[in-house]
Amino acid sequence: MNLAAPAIAQAVSDLPKDPRSGQAWNPEPVAGNYNECAQLSAVIIKANTNAANPNTRAVMFHLGKYIPTGVPDTYGFNGVDTTQSTGDTVALAYLNGLGMQSVVKFRWNGNGVELIGNG
């Protein structure tokens, strides 16, 4: 796991600006399990803003390469649950409407990323 990998900063620089703040994304991940040997890995980034609660989103990678299209909406995730993540599955954490931590899993299906539900 290398959260300082150049591929992360490159992918973040290619993202469209945060829709809420209009700002770019901070290339330093808040969390993640980036691994260039994994079928699927992810990092969590936040908008480069001084707002109290900046938008966050997950950026996904296949074998260390950024997946630019075909990924379900990944806004609002704030962590990676490494205990539920595997080589081809990433479990992303978020705060649900009750303020409790919840997990949604995404899996590399051989051609792209699919949502496989709550953990």
Structure tokens given for 77: 């995730």
Percent of the chain with pLDDT over 70: 98
DSSP labels for 6-64?
A: HHHHHHHHHSPPPTTT---B-SS-SEE---TTSSSEEEEEEBSS--SS--EEEEEEETT
Query: Is pLDDT at 12 greater than 90 in this prediction?
Result: yes
- Angle value at C-alpha 18, between 16 and 22, nearest 5 degrees: 100
Over residues 59-68, the mean pLDDT reads 95
By the 8 A CB rule, do 94 and 81 touch? no
pLDDT at 118: 64
pLDDT confidence band for 9 (50 / 70 / 90): very high
Q: Is the pTM of this model over 0.85?
A: yes
